[in-house]
Amino acid sequence: MIEFSREAFGLPESISIGLFPLEGRGSDRTFFRLKWNNKNSAILIHYNPKRLENTYYADIATFLHDIDVSAPRMIRHDPMDCIIVMEDLGDRDLWSFRETSWENRRVLYLKTLQIIHRLHGFPEKDFPSRRVRLMEDFSLGLYHWEQDYFRDHFVRDVCGIELESSFKRELEEELSNLTKKLLQTRRCLVHRDLQSQNVMIRNGEPFLIDFQGMRFGSPFYDLGSLLCDPYLHLSESEVDELLSFYYGLSKRDLDWQAFQGIFWEASVQRLMQALGAYGFLGQKKRLNVYLKHIPAGLRHLQRATTQVSNLPRLRELSQRCQKA
């Protein structure tokens, strides 16, 4: 890996390169920080190609640069040895600002929303599909898979709840209608995991990372990921302010009340996916750090279900999970 990095930067053998491991991100990748000359640094990633989305990361990063969406610059990629060297954006992410004043965080969120709106606004007809590969689009099957993921790995495995047949049928009907509504929203490119630890902050400017799961889907899924993030808490007034800002950037094909409603419904979908992931990663993969985020994720799900009137069974289930 050091030799690969040396070639990437054209560094002679006389210059020593340090290779320092960084905390992993739960996606079959290993991260390192490269340092040389006491002032230069870069990030090196070694990834597992069996997780298909990892093989898409480098090309997506180049694409994002081409369309002026802030992301780390790719320096070199070896798809045979599964190594990437990319720009070092530092150690501070949006999450690390959680204890600062709202005045400071607000600016970072507004800038992040401008960046993601630029991504959402990219014309689908112009996407270079021959050069840049993406994961499967959000579809009926994918939404249902996320819902099953939640019921299996969170409701059953974490909470120990087995659903009665009648309750399960009513819940499935609710979630089926939720899926239909999300599929009716405008299709666009979505990050797919737009939470606070996937937005790096350098010199007051946000940069998107961990976008290997990018695909076409509903923009509201990204908004739910960012504004109903289990890793931190935004008050209802803060969520409303940020959502209103994004609404002001968008084409007004929905009135404000309808826009808010679909946002909360998409947030429900995203939070089910997140809770399922915490259960799977925490119990099946033995990554216990994810289990500590379950209480916050469940509180966010309860808040989201109270904002809409068409998910009473899911609201009841979230309350049962809280008691469990």
The Cα–Cα gap between 73 and 35 comes to 17
Confidence grade of residue 28 (pLDDT, cut at 50, 70, 90): confident
Assign 56 to helix, strand or coil. Answer: helix
Q: Which residues pair with 29 in a beta bridge?
A: 47
The Cα-based distances of 323 to 161, 295, 298 in angstroms read 11, 11, 11
- Total length of the chain: 324
Q: Which of 230, 185, 197 is nearest to 91 (CA)?
A: 197
The Cα–Cα gap between 197 and 27 comes to 14
Q: Of 86, 112, 144, which marks where a domain is finished?
A: 86
pLDDT tens string 242-283: 999 999 998 878 999 999 999 999 999 999 999 999 999 999
Mean pLDDT, all residues of the chain: 96
Q: C-alpha dihedral over 149, 189, 96, 155, to 10 degrees?
A: -10
Q: What is the mean pLDDT of residues 72-101?
A: 97
The answer, yes or no, to whether residue 165 has pLDDT greater than 90, is yes
User: How many domains would you assign to the chain?
Assistant: 2
The pLDDT score that the predictor gives to residue 280 is 96
Q: Are residues 127 and 61 in the same domain?
A: no
Confidence grade of residue 23 (pLDDT, cut at 50, 70, 90): confident
Domain enclosing residue 183, as ranges: 94-323
Q: Are residues 36 and 161 in the same domain?
A: no
CATH code at 42? 3.30.200
The Cα–Cα gap between 279 and 266 comes to 20
Q: Which of 115, 124, 114 is nearest to 249 (CA)?
A: 114
Number of Cα atoms under 13 Å in the Cβ half of residue 226: 33
The pLDDT score that the predictor gives to residue 253 is 84
Structure-token pair, residue 2: 């050091």
pLDDT tens string 176-216: 999 999 999 999 999 999 999 999 999 999 999 999 999 99
CATH code at 218? 3.90.1200.10
Q: Are residues 158 and 192 in the same domain?
A: yes
pLDDT tens string 272-322: 999 999 999 999 989 899 999 999 999 999 999 999 999 999 999 999 999
The pLDDT score that the predictor gives to residue 180 is 97
Task: Report the share of the chain in percent with pLDDT over 70.
Answer: 99
Q: Are residues 182 and 105 in the same domain?
A: yes
Q: What is the mean pLDDT of residues 155-182?
A: 97
Q: Are residues 133 and 103 in the same domain?
A: yes
Q: Of 65, 86, 107, which marks where a domain is finished?
A: 86
Q: Of 60, 86, 112, which marks where a domain is finished?
A: 86
Q: Are residues 148 and 75 in the same domain?
A: no
The Cα–Cα gap between 16 and 262 comes to 54
Q: Are residues 291 and 175 in the same domain?
A: yes
Q: Are residues 18 and 75 in the same domain?
A: yes
Q: Are residues 75 and 191 in the same domain?
A: no
List helix spans (H) across the chain: 2-9, 57-66, 102-120, 140-150, 165-183, 219-227, 236-249, 256-279, 294-306, 312-323
Q: Are residues 12 and 77 in the same domain?
A: yes
Q: Are residues 173 and 55 in the same domain?
A: no
The answer, yes or no, to whether residue 26 has pLDDT greater than 70, is no
Q: Are residues 70 and 181 in the same domain?
A: no
Task: Report the share of the chain in percent with pLDDT over 90.
Answer: 96
